[in-house]
Amino acid sequence: MAQLKRRWWKEGVVYQIYPRSFQDTSGNGIGDLKGITERLDYIKSLGVDIIWLCPVYESPNDDNGYDISDYRKIMAEFGTMDDFDDLLAQMKVRGLKLVMDLVANHTSDEHFWFQESRKSRDNKYRDYYHWWPAEKGIPPKRWSYFDVDANAWKYDEQTDSYYLHYFSVKQPDLKWENRAVRKEVYDMLRFWFDKGVDGFRMDVIPFISKDTTYPELPKEFKGDFIPFYSNGPRLHEFLNEMNNEVLSKYDIMTVGEALGVTIDQALNFVDEDRKELNMFFHFDLMSLDRDGNEAFWMRSDRWKLTEFKEIHSKWDAVFSEKGWGTMYLNNHDFPRAVSRWGNDSKEHWRNSATMLQTFLLTMRGTPFFYFGEEIGMTNANFERLDDYKDINTLNRYKLLQQQNIDLEDFIENEKKASRDNARTPMQWSLDTHAGFTNNTPWIKVNSNYKTGINVEEQEKQSDSVLNYFRKMVKIRKSHLGLIYGGYQLVLPENEQVYAYTRSLDTERYLILLSFSEESTQVAIDDIEFSKADLLISNDECQTEKTNHQFTLKPYQAVVYQLH
């Protein structure tokens, strides 16, 4: 703690909103800004402090707003700039902070800069993007996420050149090496900060720097493009410059989406002395149950709890004296936490959803919750390709089709792995379409809103997932040791129970989390449960008051304060 300075963004709890799926008020089947404003009292009632809003800027929606055609306009489907200003004002009244999404590795191909850039080789905006003139031959291979050929170079007839797009063909990469591009980005950041926005989550931020000689993939990367993309030569120079010219001028927070960033590189981004970012999301947990470099195939054996613990213990250690971490179990790009890391069967859904909440709220690092996680929303489990809306699934299907890969396997895989699992509408009530819209929703609502997974019913039950979440948030916020305290793993080899202590000065806590479908007994020699204060449990405690043993029910979570 001596080294760790207190900051609002370390003590806050973040609630991520995917606006498309949160609350429709206009009746077009798509969530909107007014919908979020209407729900602010609910959000406030959760005890969270910060909203991270996925992109709401003008966009042709090739990738649901991650393809921006104007950084200073609001997407018409979501409302107007007045709606945005009203949302921000209403948030300020309630003491909520707003973090926006900075998507500046690429723009939409419909952005004015790109429209100009592709017109001629001597256009003023030509050098805003990465171009390869065709007379030089076929450019060295670059892999693309959402391209139907997985090819990141797209030939453009107008100027007989290829442009670079790490994501879809409609998401050309900006050329940060051009100072004019960086100035545009910094100006745009100022525009939002001057409105009163409290920070940015930075999309694929490690990818912004490229070697503009576009060499063949260097040997050390062995075909794996993600670590290559995240190790651009001028990355830290750009982050430092952005910090110096913009970020440091405001009391804001930044969190990078750090694909490809390893533990050894972590402090290069978030060591305060380097003046770059405050925090980032690592991807080690998100790839734990996946196979291969691109990480969209589920691995065939089940992940082990010891692996899960190791990831979190290692990442906690990196930030014990410098920097600061993040904790998350899902977001708009990954399946729902309870379906993936817990157990969404009828029997275990409630305990496992609340156990996972307890985990995020008792670890060091800022906790990020994704809308619906507070009521235990589960995967969509779509059976048919037609149900999917995500370019990641639809274009990969086409790619695999060309490669003659078994598409039934792929659809089975997507039930567990797809991003649309987390993009189904918020389940507010028992009304039609779960109270999300009175029109046809843009993506199917999960029918389990009818069986208890909705806000309306959970508000009425004192032991609901929702009300447990509220209690657990209060506990974190009223015990500084749960935020800043040191973390110590207990029972490292145990495959059923994740146990750890947190300590700060004289405060000490023990957290026991069962990841098992069976009752499990743990023995911890130096803990006398009879002398410890139980702060919270998601189930009845069956422990004898006198000994060093504790019996956990399936997916039980307990937090003790030790003396």
**Residue 269: CA atoms inside 13 Å, Cβ hemisphere, count?**
29
Catalytic residue among 257, 289, 316, 390: 257
Site residues (CB under 6 A) for ligand TEU, limited to 361-390: none
Q: Which of 86, 333, 517, 528 binds ligand TEU (CB under 6 A)?
A: 333
Beta carbon of residue 171, minimum distance to ligand TEU (angstroms, whole number): 6
Tell me how far apart the alpha carbons of residues 533 and 120 are, in angstroms, rounded to a whole number. Answer: 71
533 phi/psi in degrees, rounded to 5: -95, 125
Q: Which of 9, 52, 131, 145 binds ligand TEU (CB under 6 A)?
A: 145
- Residue 296 is a binding residue for ligand TEU (CB under 6 A): yes
Q: Is 86 a catalytic residue?
A: no
Tell me how far apart the alpha carbons of residues 470 and 139 are, in angstroms, rounded to a whole number. Answer: 54
Q: 323: left (phi > 0), else alpha (psi -120 to 50), else beta?
A: left
Q: Which residue is nearest to ligand TEU (CB)?
A: 66
**Residue 415: CA atoms inside 13 Å, Cβ hemisphere, count?**
9
Residue 57: closest CA among 160, 150, 191: 191
Which CB atom, from 66 or from 382, has the smaller least distance to ligand TEU? 66
Compute the chain's Rg from CA coordinates.
24
Beta carbon of residue 24, minimum distance to ligand TEU (angstroms, whole number): 21
**Residue 458: CA atoms inside 13 Å, Cβ hemisphere, count?**
26
Q: Which of 32, 63, 83, 198 binds ligand TEU (CB under 6 A)?
A: 63
Beta carbon of residue 541, minimum distance to ligand TEU (angstroms, whole number): 39
* Strand pairing report for 297-298 and 290-291: antiparallel
Binding mask 467-486 for ligand TEU (x = CB under 6 A): --------------------
- Residue 289 is a binding residue for ligand TEU (CB under 6 A): no
Beta carbon of residue 65, minimum distance to ligand TEU (angstroms, whole number): 9
With tokens 């619906």, the residue in question is: 372
Which CB atom, from 332 or from 433, has the smaller least distance to ligand TEU? 332
Number of residues located near ligand TEU, criterion CB under 6 A: 13
With tokens 């405690």, the residue in question is: 541
- Residue 103 is a binding residue for ligand TEU (CB under 6 A): yes
Tell me how far apart the alpha carbons of residues 525 and 204 are, in angstroms, rounded to a whole number. Answer: 45
Which CB atom, from 55 or from 365, has the smaller least distance to ligand TEU? 55
- Residue 204 is a binding residue for ligand TEU (CB under 6 A): yes
Catalytic residue among 58, 203, 316, 539: 203
Question: CA 369 → CA 277, 326, 359, distances in Å?
Answer: 20, 11, 12
46 phi/psi in degrees, rounded to 5: -75, -20
Q: Hey, what amino acid is at 172?
A: P
Handedness of CA 21, 34, 469, 9 (dihedral sign): positive
Tell me how far apart the alpha carbons of residues 87 and 39 are, in angstroms, rounded to a whole number. Answer: 10
Q: Which of 52, 66, 238, 368 binds ligand TEU (CB under 6 A)?
A: 66
Beta carbon of residue 204, minimum distance to ligand TEU (angstroms, whole number): 5
- Residue 197 is a binding residue for ligand TEU (CB under 6 A): no
Q: Is 257 a catalytic residue?
A: yes
Q: Which of 144, 392, 516, 538 binds ligand TEU (CB under 6 A)?
A: 392
- Residue 167 is a binding residue for ligand TEU (CB under 6 A): yes
Q: Which residues bind ligand TEU (CB under 6 A)?
A: 63, 66, 103, 145, 167, 203-204, 257, 259, 296, 332-333, 392
Q: Looking at the annotation, which residues are catalytic?
A: 203, 257
